[in-house]
Amino acid sequence: MKRTMVLLLAVMVAPTVLAAGEAEPDPPEDYPTKSIELVVPWGAGGRTDINARMFATIASNYLDQPMVVVNRAGGGSVIGGQYVAEADPDGYTLLAITPGTNVFPVVFDRAPYDTFDFTPIGQIGSSTMAIASRPDRPWSDVSELVEYAEENPGEVTYACVSLSGPQLGFLRWSDAAGLEFSHVPVGDDAEAVEAALGGHVDIAMTSSVATITSHVNEGSLNAIMVFSDARDDALPDTPTATEMGWDVVASPFTGIAGPKGMPEEVTRKLREVFMQVMEDEDFHTLMNRVGESLDPRGGEEFYQIWVNDYEGYSGIIERMGLN
């Protein structure tokens, strides 16, 4: 019995020791010759994580090598971002990128990497940011909200993560509308919705309508406005900010990027596989089920989105003196 136990332990421990070995790099033409690490800079189970896992599952079929999702969470996606920015640009370390990683260098002057330290592979999709309130608030739509906020500056509270995509989007809007709100910092979208549902804050600002849709359908929340360029299918009655006359479009993207300076062959191969995954039927089914709308953009276009976001965010951060 005792011998069996020792043997069992040895077997359990062995893989961890064996895994320590590393192979030599291969020429970029043969890429990929070993498994690819897709870094998710957020915890397991979040939106980015699920999208990345679906992408990796399908992409592995096209790459003939497994793509493995690795969570490197922390510091609001900065830890994982830094890891990939500093990784060997050989295509074996990729990042499931979200605006948080890009915004960080804008906000912090001592950031260890720059917004453009990445090679864009492609955008998978973007979500629709939205604001919602409980029906018992003194407003039921955006014009009433604006009216109320004008009369009571600083009195209306909104909940979202500090210095995140949603907060910067909200600030761009309130700045454009000339309104003043009080920010209540929360940990994530779910907490913002919880606080609004309980009536503890006036407005929940979330990065995705997915978190509020069922509450809106049930009548426990009113969707006030969305920040996408067109109305969201899930909330067809909710106006966009542009419709209401404010030039604010902010849709947090999910995409794939690598470190800056990858060999041309590798980038081309990855962009090719990326587009194949975007057209894959299984991938569509999976994304549909989670309620993610696909909005595939190739590498160049994806880069342009970064540039636009960068300009939008640095403008508001400078004006508000946030950095």
Interacting residue ranges for another protein, rule: CB under 8 A = 1-2, 5-6, 9-10, 12-13, 16-17, 43-46, 49-50, 53-54, 57, 70-76, 78-79, 82-83, 107, 112, 157, 162-163, 182-187, 190-191, 193-195, 197-201, 210-211, 213-215, 217-218, 220, 286, 288-291
Output the smallest distance, CB 85 to another protein, in A: 12
**Residue keyed to tokens 């896992």:** 53
Q: Which residue has the tokens 């605006």?
A: 99
Which is closer to another protein, CB of 39 or CB of 129?
A: 39
Can you name the residues that pair with 182 across neighbouring β-strands? 157
Q: Which is nearer to another protein, 214 or 293 (CB)?
A: 214
Handedness of CA 86, 87, 89, 93 (dihedral sign): negative
Contact 38, 8 (CB under 8 A): no
Of 292, 275, 238, the closest CA to residue 49 belongs to 292
CA 296, distance to chain mean position in Å, is: 15
How many alpha carbons fall within 13 Å on the CB side of residue 123?
21
Q: Are 67 and 98 in contact (CB under 8 A)?
A: no
d(C-alpha 89, C-alpha 71), whole Å: 19
CB of 20 to another protein, least distance (A): 10
Of 219 and 245, the one with the shorter C-beta distance to another protein is 219
| Of residues 43 and 138, the one with the C-beta less far from another protein | 43
Q: How far is the CB of 6 from another protein (least distance, A)?
A: 6
To the nearest whole angstrom, how small is the minimum distance from the Cβ of residue 186 to another protein? 7
- Taking the C-alpha atoms of residue 207 and residue 148, their distance in angstroms, rounded to an integer, is 24
* Closer residue to another protein, CB minimum distance, 179 or 244: 179
Nearest approach in angstroms of CB 9 to another protein is: 4
CB of 16 or CB of 264, closer to another protein: 16
Q: How far is the CB of 299 from another protein (least distance, A)?
A: 26
